[in-house]
Homo-oligomer: A and B are copies of this chain.
Amino acid sequence: MNNSTVLIKMVFDRWNNAIKNCDDLLNALSDEVLMKQIAPGKNRGIYLLGHLIAVHDDMLRFLELGEARYPELHDPFHHKPDNVATPMPSVAELREIWKEQCREQSDRFASLSEGQWFEKHTAVSSEDFAKEPHRNKLNIILNRTTHLAYHTGQIQLLKA
């Protein structure tokens, strides 16, 4: 196994592990608990779940794997802060979307070849990429893994 193969595996092991940790946690929390704030005056569980879906939805575009699938979730869960007055899907609906998204993204990520993971992502210009080859598609996975871990640490606080 060469170093590139090893490193792609390392990054995806981390990503898959972070997804599993979050998924296990969500499964351990009731819909009712996810409607609560993680701490007084802070985001609700439902907002963080929707936020993760919205941020992950943007990954497809960065990776040239298609358009956003859930554009209607970007405004309430990404562009806007949590607000009980914002219309949003139910926790049950978001759970279904989360599961479907995890499944679909896992399939799509598997469609990229090793070489493609080292190609530039769409948020960087060809000129900048020539100077900064680390701004590749694999870096999107790495970046979103720490984002996912950050918010999983917060959702964890809803556990009794």
Contacts and interface: CB of A to CB of B under 8 A. Distances in A.
A109 interface: no
Contacts of A136: 6, 10
Contact of A10 (B138, B153, B154): B138
B4 A4 contact: yes
A26 to B, nearest CB: 15
A149 B11 CA distance: 15
A70 interface: no
A130 B43 CA distance: 45
A47 to B, nearest CB: 14
Interface of A: 1, 3-4, 6-7, 9-11, 13-14, 17-18, 38-40, 42, 118, 133-134, 136, 138-139, 142-143, 145-147, 149-154, 156-157
A35 to B, nearest CB: 16
Contacts of A9: 134
A135 B105 CA distance: 25
5 contacts: A38-B39, A147-B149, A149-B149, A153-B153, A154-B157
Nearest to A141: B10
Nearest to A151: B153
Given A6-B134, A154-B157, 15 more contacts: A3-B3, A3-B4, A4-B4, A6-B133, A7-B138, A10-B142, A11-B142, A38-B39, A39-B40, A39-B157, A146-B149, A150-B153, A153-B153, A153-B154, A154-B156
